[in-house]
Amino acid sequence: IIPQRLLGKTVVITAGPTVEAIDPVRYLSNHSSGKMGFALARACVEAGAEVILIAGGKVALPTPLGVTRIDVLSAQEMLIVAQQCVAGTHNVLQFKEEAHDHNHHHEHDHGDCGCNDDNHDDHAKVSTEDGSLVADIFISTAAVADYRTEEAAPQKIKKTQDIMTLNLIKNPDILATISHAHPELFVVGFAAETQDVEHYARGKLVAKDLDMIACNDVSRADIGFASDNNAMQVFFAEYYQQDMVTLDKASKDDIAKQLTAIIGETLLQ
């Protein structure tokens, strides 16, 4: 039996890669599978939370039962949807109903709103009295592309040039933007490092103003990214009792349950 430590809490999770268009048929992305974020979504539901999962790119995983899923493509889209979900201005109920019914995902194809129904008012019964959802916890597992193309070409680019140059510009930091905008939100970041794990993780904890950061060593071939297993070191902001926790190699589902328990305990401090 899983303790209902997150009962009454709303959790927003980003997961998977982002996809940055080059032209209508090509894109820049990465190998993130989304498994860690989806496992966390499942664990948070089991712990009693209301969970909104924002999946980037083309995550090919089934939506965990009871989770409200919103699919996005690019980092910019993910930022807008995450801001709306956290602040309670995104109407997500329809996704939730469909996720329950069919357990499949939906294209996010309506620009800023993420809604594919014209009649928004029909869905205005989310979880708080005024019909809005305001998050308590934001967990950022997404592997957001650091750069996007300056401008996606409107038509397919032809192979006429021998050397072709793409101008890339930096994407917004979704985690830092949300964290800085909502000091009261409990914010959990992830980091994948190949060296000086603790040094870089603690740097991000402070720079992005996080409550917790979970860090895996991606120089190890047996864990992380597309793997089903993970092992982590978790670092906490200085105002919490514990400083660091090590989670030994285990399945991502198991790691997710442990992380969810740690989030629940840390929230209570």
Marked catalytic residue, from 30, 171, 216, 229: 30
Nearer to ligand C5P, 95 or 138 (CB): 138
User: Which residues make Cβ contacts (< 8 Å) with residue 120, sequence separation at least 6?
Assistant: 91, 113
CA-CA distance, 248 to 233, in Å (whole number)?
Answer: 9
What minimum distance in Å lies between the beta carbon of 27 and ligand C5P?
16
Q: Which of residues 47-86 bind ligand C5P (CB under 6 A)?
A: 75
Residue 140 binds ligand C5P (CB under 6 A): yes
230 has catalytic annotation: no
x/- track of binding to ligand C5P for residues 157-176 (CB under 6 A)? --------------x-xxx-
Residue 189 binds ligand C5P (CB under 6 A): yes
Gap between the terminal Cα atoms of the chain: 23
Interface region with ligand C5P, contact rule CB under 6 A, candidates 45-53, 135-143, 158-166, 256-264: 135-143
What minimum distance in Å lies between the beta carbon of 54 and ligand C5P?
11
Residue 114 binds ligand C5P (CB under 6 A): no
Q: Which residues pair with 23 in a beta bridge?
A: 26
Nearer to ligand C5P, 45 or 215 (CB): 215
CA-CA distance, 228 to 133, in Å (whole number)?
Answer: 32
Nearer to ligand C5P, 8 or 203 (CB): 203
Residue 142 binds ligand C5P (CB under 6 A): yes
Residue 27 binds ligand C5P (CB under 6 A): no
Asked if residues 205 and 237 have their Cβ atoms less than 8 Å apart, the reply is yes
Nearer to ligand C5P, 140 or 149 (CB): 140
Q: Are strands 26-28 and 20-23 parallel, antiparallel or unpaired?
A: antiparallel
Residue 40 binds ligand C5P (CB under 6 A): no
User: Which residues make Cβ contacts (< 8 Å) with residue 10, sequence separation at least 6?
Assistant: 49, 50, 51, 52, 127, 133, 134, 135, 136, 137
Interface region with ligand C5P, contact rule CB under 6 A, candidates 112-120, 156-164, 183-191, 217-225: 183-191
What minimum distance in Å lies between the beta carbon of 254 and ligand C5P?
20
Nearer to ligand C5P, 141 or 230 (CB): 141
Active site amino acids = 30
Under the rule (CB under 6 A), what is the footprint of ligand C5P?
75, 140-142, 144, 171, 173-175, 189-191, 204
